[in-house]
C-alpha cells in the first residue's frame, strides 16, 4: 500500500467557527494553485480552526508535521494576542500544545522556500505511537476582533528528524 508523504485538507473540509457566515469569512476556490480553496477572515473575535484525520494512510515509522497555511491581507488586525495550537488523540489526550502568534512577522509563522504561504506548525507526531485518529486545533478566544488572515488549509507532511 502506498503511503502519503504530504496532503492538504482544504478549508471546507475543516471546522472553522463562523465560516458559514459571509460577514465573518468568505470561502472561494483558488484556480491555478496547489490549494483548492481559501478562506478569508473578514472579522471575528473568536478564531477557531480545527479538524481531524485518519493516520492509517501514513507510514507508521515516519514523523509527520501538521501545518496551518496562512498569508495576510492588509490591514491585518487583532492578531497580536496569543493563540493556542494543539494535536490530540481521539480520546482527547493531548499530543502537544503550545502558544503561538499570528501577526505579520511573527516568528511562529515560517516562510517556506519558493512559497508565498506561511506555515504555522501545530505539532509533530509519529503514527506508531498515537491513536488512529488525530485532531488538530487552532484557537484564539481573546475578545479582540481579528481580521486580515487568508487560510489555505492544513498540510500533513513527512519530516526528517535531524
Express each pLDDT in 10-58 by its tens digit: 999 999 999 999 999 999 999 888 888 999 999 999 999 999 999 988 9
Q: Is residue 91 part of a domain?
A: yes
Which domain range does residue 85 map to? Answer: 9-151
Choose between 136 and 113: higher pLDDT: 136
CATH of the domain at 53: 2.60.120
Domain annotation covers residue 158? no
What are the pLDDT digits (tens) for 121-142?
Answer: 999 999 999 989 999 999 999 9
- Residue-wise pLDDT for 72-98, tens only, equals 998 899 999 999 999 999 988 999 999
Residue of 143, 139, 136 lying closest to 9 (CA atoms) = 136
Indicate whether 92 belongs to any domain: yes
Q: How confident is the model at residue 1 (pLDDT cuts 50, 70, 90)?
A: very low
Q: Considering the entire predicted model, what is its pTM?
A: 0.93
Residue 129 φ then ψ, to 5°: -120, 10
Q: Does 120 reside within a domain?
A: yes
pLDDT above 70: residue 2:
no
Is residue 33 domain-resident?
yes
How far, in Å, CA of 61 to CA of 52, rounded? 20
Residue 123 domain-assigned (yes or no): yes
Is 161 part of any domain? no
Report the number of distinct structural domains present in the chain.
Answer: 1
Nearest to 44 by CA among 25, 27, 26: 25
Return d(Cα 94, Cα 33) in angstroms, integer.
33
**Residue 145 located in a structural domain:** yes
Q: What is the DSSP letter of 8?
A: E
Length of the chain: 162
- Is residue 109 pLDDT above 90, yes or no? yes
Amino acid at each position: 500500500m502506498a503511503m502519503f508523504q504530504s496532503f492538504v485538507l482544504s478549508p471546507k473540509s475543516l471546522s472553522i467557527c463562523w465560516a458559514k457566515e459571509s460577514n465573518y469569512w468568505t470561502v472561494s476556490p483558488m484556480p491555478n494553485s496547489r490549494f483548492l480553496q481559501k478562506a478569508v477572515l473578514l472579522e471575528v473575535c473568536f478564531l477557531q480552526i480545527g479538524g481531524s484525520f485518519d493516520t492509517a494512510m501514513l507510514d507508521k515509522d515516519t514523523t509527520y508535521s501538521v501545518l496551518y497555511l496562512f498569508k495576510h491581507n492588509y490591514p491585518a488586525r487583532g492578531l497580536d494576542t496569543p493563540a493556542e495550537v494543539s494535536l490530540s488523540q481521539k480520546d482527547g489526550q493531548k499530543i502537544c500544545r503550545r502558544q503561538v502568534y499570528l501577526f505579520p512577522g511573527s516568528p511562529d509563522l515560517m516562510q517556506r522556500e519558493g512559497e508565498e504561504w506561511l506555515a504555522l506548525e501545530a505539532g509533530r507526531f509519529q503514527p506508531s505511537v498515537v491513536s488512529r485518529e488525530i485532531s488538530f486545533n487552532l484557537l484564539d478566544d481573546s475578545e479582540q476582533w481579528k481580521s486580515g488572515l487568508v487560510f489555505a488549509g492544513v498540510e500533513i507532511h513527512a519530516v526528517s528528524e535531524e
